[in-house]
Amino acid sequence: MTPKWFPADAAPAWVGKPLESPVMTERIAIRYAAPGDEGAVAGVAAVVQELHFRERPDVFNPVNVEQLRDWFRRALSAGERRVLLAEVGGAAAGYAVVQDGERHEDAFARARRWREVDQLGVVPAHRQRGVARALIEHIAASARAEGIPALELNTWAFNEPAHEAFRRLGFIERSVRYERPADAPPSS
């Protein structure tokens, strides 16, 4: 199935093709999720959501798989975001949600385009086995094919394992974001 953002006759050769990882003995198949895949994607997203809620309950909601399923159902129907599903042996092993960003040149910064990896998650049983790498390489290949020069993502400060994984995948730290409650006094 050709994703709706590619004309049927212009889809890059990699669309729908499984990628192989030298780390795993089983193939990692990367494909664009379609309506009907929301349950599988929500199941992987729930693992990530649990970590986020555990670490920052002031920001994140508790895991509610039905709400996650509904969110992915809407995202897959709207087509504004691209949702990729990684499968190993036919079972969901990871997912990514991507969307394109663009900034027009102004007095402060140059114009630029990028592909934002908004969400990335791998189930614990498949971590450090090439699933995240396969997803990122698939995303990078699609960006190159569309003339988008860079991938970007952000991660929460508490998620050190993700920071290390992203470094191994070729990402470099570019900016640091801080927060402070409005009523907190400045430290000395």
Domain boundaries, the chain: 28-168
CA distance 65 to 39: 8
- pLDDT tens per residue across span 130-153: 999 999 999 999 999 999 999 999
- pLDDT tens per residue across span 60-86: 999 999 999 999 999 998 877 899 999
Residue predicted with more confidence, 22 or 118: 118
Provide the CATH topology of domain 28-168.
Aminopeptidase (3.40.630)
CA angle 162, 119, 125 (to 5 degrees): 55
Whether pLDDT at 35 is above 50:
yes
Contacts of 67 (CB under 8 A, 6+ apart): 61
Distances in Å between the Cα of 36 and the Cα atoms of 72, 73, 96 are 10, 8, 16
Of 1-5, 34-38, 41-45, 60-64, the least confident: 1-5
Q: What is the mean pLDDT of residues 107-117?
A: 96
- pLDDT tens per residue across span 150-186: 999 999 999 999 999 999 999 999 999 999 999 998 8
Distances in Å between the Cα of 1 and the Cα atoms of 16, 34, 62 are 7, 9, 34
Tokens standing for 24?
Answer: 């795993």
Q: What is the mean pLDDT of the chain?
A: 87
* Confidence tier at 39 by pLDDT (50, 70, 90): very high
In this predicted structure, what is the pLDDT of residue 7? 37
CA distance 72 to 39: 8
